[in-house]
Amino acid sequence: MANLFVDGKYGDRGIILGNEAIARGALEAGIGYASMYPGTPASEIIIALDKNKKNIKNIYTEFSLNEHISLHGAIGASWSGIRSLCAMKNVGLNVASEPAHFLAYTGVKAGLVLAIGSDPGAPSSSNEQDDRWYSLHTYMPIIEPSNIQEAKDFTKKAFDISEQFSFGIILMAPSRLCHNAGILHFGDCLDRDLISGNFKRDPENYLNLFNLAVKNHKKYLERSELLKQYAYNSELNMIIDAQISSTKNSRIGFISSGVIYSHLIEALNFINADYYKILKLGITFPLSEKLIGEFLDNLDEVVIVEEAEGFLEFQIKKIAFEIGYHGKIHGKNIFKAYGELTIDDVIKGVSGFLGKAAPEHFTAAVNKSEILSAQIPQRMGTFCVGCPHRGTIYSILKASGYSNTDSKDRDVIIAGDIGCYTLGLLPPYNAMDWLTCMNSGLSIGQAISIADKSKKIIALVGDSTFYHSGIPVLMNAIQNNSDILYIILDNSWTAMTGHQKTPSTKTDIDGTPVPHSVNLKDLLKSLGVSYIKTVDPNSVKRFSVIIKEALKEKGLKVIIAKRECILQEERRKKIKNLKSKLENSSEIIYELQKERCVKCNECFVELACPAIQSVKENGINNGKEYYFIDPVSCVKCGVCYEVCPNSAIRKVEFNLNPSIDLKSQMHFLNNK
């Protein structure tokens, strides 16, 4: 796939991810600059370009430290005449909202597209915000593709629109599109030899102060009006005429956009009602009053099918008022404003509104699943086997007197933050007291330390989140002498989004040293932190003693829990083993001896490593249950060995015989 992503030409077809289709559209449009702070579901947009950059001429890719920097970077490239793509997740625009609010004032030179991965249902986010509302004040035009082909085609087109009207363009892609994988018909790429930057001063647009800002404000409102005229004629918006006439049905219409439009089309087919008048909006801001007016004409009722709070409904109702439309406009009275709007929701909403029953196999399945779902235990994500964050969370809980098995609550407040360690808020750990946005942990925590002096506070932050916007928060805590323990979980990578480098990354996965990596301890020292301890989070006993000691001290304390992400460590090992072919090496195995195990649950529930599993003796339902370490998933981190109070877990070291086939020896050991 990677080759087709770079070398694909008109006529080629391939399976591609929605995010990659967006990146490919940008590539076809001849971008030279791509930046993002990683965030699910948008990450693969820039990953696709970054991992192929050696084979793409004149491209610069950057995983910036935060979205504010990332969007500014794209703006700088655009002003230098280089088409630029910036990507981020929905909440990223909160951080980048500052540059976004100036982009209309200054305008662009080369096309600039800001691709936003929204996350309805919040499967990987801390909120469900619909970033389209930002455009009511940033005035950034919004384009919404419905499928993989449009993701590519609309992105390409967005660069032209950006240049024509001098706006940065928002390309909205919900996770259902970002992570839709299917067929893409490729187009040709612009000649990449022509990409070269040349920044020219443009004080009239780029300087914004006093009346200069007012003048630019007026100018972009005028450009937005011109864009409405463009939207009226654009093929990105499409009216599908009704296929029935002179019945009541011919006076009902539907309006939709993006992935929800694809749900609508499928839903209408599903209930054999594929004959209504439909307006598909590819440009959802600004809306053309003329287009909406023409669509509403002759309709008695219109249904707006969209996710979240009703951004289209808000705009269309305003237009309807202005043009004196007297029909009924439905939207959020039918479709919920929270959670993901699924294909099921659209089928139910549309069939309910039209009074046309959904097929029997659908209603039967819906009814059945309601009965079934009551019996199915919830499954929640947890740390990977061997994840150093498990050691950190376990150590904190032990230091704070928490025990899940005898329902003892902890006596410290734990401030959560964004990253893999966020999973610590889930059972069995319940080790977080709030989770909102990036670096809310320490900043809210330090105020609580002032407001409620009776409690101890631990604030958590990962290395990537710390570098994102945590340094000012820490400096603020130092300057105000906050009484708080700050634990930086430094695993050297932005792990949750696919292991992008952080300033802490010292060695790349292939072993090459990373230039300009930051010595975190030195940084903390120079910021003025006097209490700094570094600890291996997998040494849980030592770690919890250090936490207990730190909690006794007054003022700001920082502990660096330093251990590389286990997934990266394992990858590194694999590469190394392939190189050295493992001659004369030894192998460690941890074994849980069932005759010594009293099922105290220290490893199984408190530590809750997924490699420790339970099985019923002889596979009988009523047989005695015992615990064992699954050799297939165990990565030999040894934490369970350390926590077992009864020495039931044994560490066995084998010296592998280099003269015998290694694979068969490992097979023997694993099945022991």
Partner 1 sequence: MKKFNIAITGLGGQGIITAGTILKNAVLDSAMQDVSGSERRGGAQREGYVEAFVKYIFYDSIAELQNPRKNMHSPMIASGDADVLISLEPLETLRAASYVNKNSVIIFNTNPHIPISVRMGKNKYPELDDILESLHGITENVFYYDFNKLSIENFGSIISCNVISLGVLFAKTNIPVSKNVIENILLKGSKAKDNLRAFDIGLNL
Q: Report how far residue 556's alpha carbon sits from residue 476's, in angstroms, rounded to the nearest whole number.
A: 11
Q: Is 628 in the site for partner 1 (CB under 8 A)?
A: no
* Per-residue binder mask for partner 1 (CB under 8 A), 572-611, x = binder: --------------------------------xx--x-x-
Q: How far is CA 102 from CA 106, 135, 218, 352, 651, in A?
A: 6, 12, 13, 44, 60
For partner 1, give the closer residue by CB, 161 or 177. Answer: 177
Nearer to partner 1, 357 or 366 (CB): 366
Tracing tokens 């490239």 back to the chain, one arrives at 77
Which of these segments, 304-312, 366-374, 440-448, 537-545, binds partner 1 (CB under 8 A)?
366-374
Among 523, 532, 582, 666, binds partner 1 (CB under 8 A): 666
Q: Binding segment for partner 1 among 84-92, 137-145, 319-327, 354-362 (CB under 8 A)?
A: 354-362
Regarding 305 and contact with partner 1 (CB under 8 A), the answer is: no
> Which residues between 53 and 112 bind partner 1 (CB under 8 A)?
none
Cβ-based nearer residue to partner 1, 427 or 472: 427
Q: Which is nearer to partner 1, 198 or 664 (CB)?
A: 664
Cα–Cα distances (Å) from 29 to 37, 83, 608, in that order, read 22, 8, 49
CA quadruple 123, 124, 127, 133: dihedral sign: negative
Q: Can residue 570 be called a binding residue for partner 1 (CB under 8 A)?
A: no
Residues between 436 and 475 with contacts to partner 1, criterion CB under 8 A: none
Nearer to partner 1, 263 or 410 (CB): 263
Edge to edge, what strands does the sheet with 33-36 contain?
60-63, 33-36, 84-89, 112-118, 169-174, 142-143, 283-285
By beta-carbon proximity to partner 1, the closer residue of 25 and 73 is: 25
Q: What angle do CA 310, 315, 321 make, to 5 degrees?
A: 120
Under rule CB under 8 A, which residues in 390-429 are in contact with partner 1?
A: 404, 420, 423, 426-428
- Nearer to partner 1 among residue 359 and residue 528 (C-beta): 359
Amino acid at the residue 47: I
User: Should residue 226 be labelled a site residue for partner 1 when binding is judged by CB under 8 A?
Assistant: no
Binding of residue 665 to partner 1 (CB under 8 A): no
Nearer to partner 1, 162 or 538 (CB): 538
623 binds partner 1, rule: CB under 8 A:
no
Task: List the one residue out of 425, 253, 442, 267 whose CA is nearest residue 330.
Answer: 253
Is 5 near partner 1 (CB under 8 A)? no
Structure-token match 């809210």, residue found: 444
* Cβ nearer to partner 1, comparing 165 with 261: 261
Applying CB under 8 A, which of residues 179, 332, 501, 533 lies at the interface with partner 1? 179
What's the closest the beta carbon of residue 517 comes to partner 1, in angstroms? 21
- Distance between CA atoms of 57 and 637, rounded to whole angstroms? 43
Among 357, 366, 475, 588, binds partner 1 (CB under 8 A): 366
Both tokens of 505, joined, read 């990354």
Report DSSP letters for 529-553, one per residue.
Answer: --EEEEE-TT-HHHHHHHHHHHHHS
Contact between residue 303 and residue 334 where contact means Cβ atoms under 8 Å apart? yes
Q: Which stretch binds partner 1 (CB under 8 A): 66-74, 227-235, 383-391, 457-465?
A: 383-391
Cα–Cα distances in angstroms (integers) from residue 224 to residues 137, 142, 171, 235, 381, in the given order:
12, 12, 17, 18, 45
Residues 92, 118: contact at Cβ < 8 Å?
no
Taking the least distance from each CB to partner 1, the nearer of 280 and 330 is 280
The interface region with partner 1, picked from 74-82, 264-272, 295-303, 587-595 by CB under 8 A, is: 264-272
Vertex 128: Cα angle to 486 and 224 (nearest 5): 115
DSSP at 384 = P
What's the closest the beta carbon of residue 239 comes to partner 1, in angstroms?
10
Residue 359 identity (one-letter amino acid): P
- Selection from 283, 285, 333 nearest residue 309 by Cα: 333
Give the binding range for partner 1 (CB under 8 A) out of 342-350, 436-444, 515-523, 591-599: 342-350
Residues 6+ apart with CB under 8 A from 267: 343, 346, 347, 350, 351
CB of 310 to partner 1, least distance (A): 20
Our finding on whether 262 is near partner 1 (CB under 8 A) is yes
Nearer to partner 1, 32 or 41 (CB): 41
Tell me if 609 sits within 8 A of 390, measured CB to CB. yes
Q: How far apart are CA 93 and CA 510, in angstroms?
A: 33
Cβ of residue 432: shortest distance to partner 1, in angstroms?
15
Q: What is the pattern of x (binds partner 1, CB under 8 A) and - over residues 109-128?
A: --------------xx----
The pair of structure tokens assigned to 365 is: 């399945």
Asked if 264 contacts 240 with a C-beta cutoff of 8 angstroms, the reply is no
Binding mask 148-177 for partner 1 (x = CB under 8 A): x--------------------------xxx
Q: Compute the least distance from the CB of residue 607 to partner 1, in Å.
A: 11
10 Å Cβ neighbour count for 399? Answer: 23
Does 379 bind partner 1 (CB under 8 A)? Our answer is yes
Q: Is 614 in the site for partner 1 (CB under 8 A)?
A: yes
316 contacts 330 by C-beta, under 8 angstroms: no
Site for partner 1 in 183-212 (CB under 8 A): 183
Calpha distance 460→420 (Å, rounded)? 11
Nearest to 406 by CA among 602, 613, 597, 614: 602
Query: In the window 308-337, what residues touch partner 1 (CB under 8 A)?
Result: none
Stretch that binds partner 1, among 28-36, 194-202, 229-237, 257-265 (CB under 8 A): 257-265
Q: Any contact of residue 234 with partner 1 (CB under 8 A)?
A: no
- Asked whether position 283 contacts partner 1 by CB under 8 A, the answer is no
The one among 274, 309, 587, 591 contacting partner 1 by CB under 8 A = 274
Q: Checking DSSP bridges between strand 238-240 and strand 142-143, what pairing results, if any?
A: unpaired
Instruction: State yes or no: residue 365 binds partner 1 (CB under 8 A).
Output: yes
DSSP letters for 393-428: HHHHHHHTT-BTTTTBPPSEEEE--SSGGGGGGSTT
- CB nearer partner 1, residue 268 or residue 478: 268
Shortest gap between Cβ of 68 and partner 1 (angstroms)? Answer: 24
Binding to partner 1, residues 487-526 (CB under 8 A): 495-499
3-class DSSP state of 140? coil
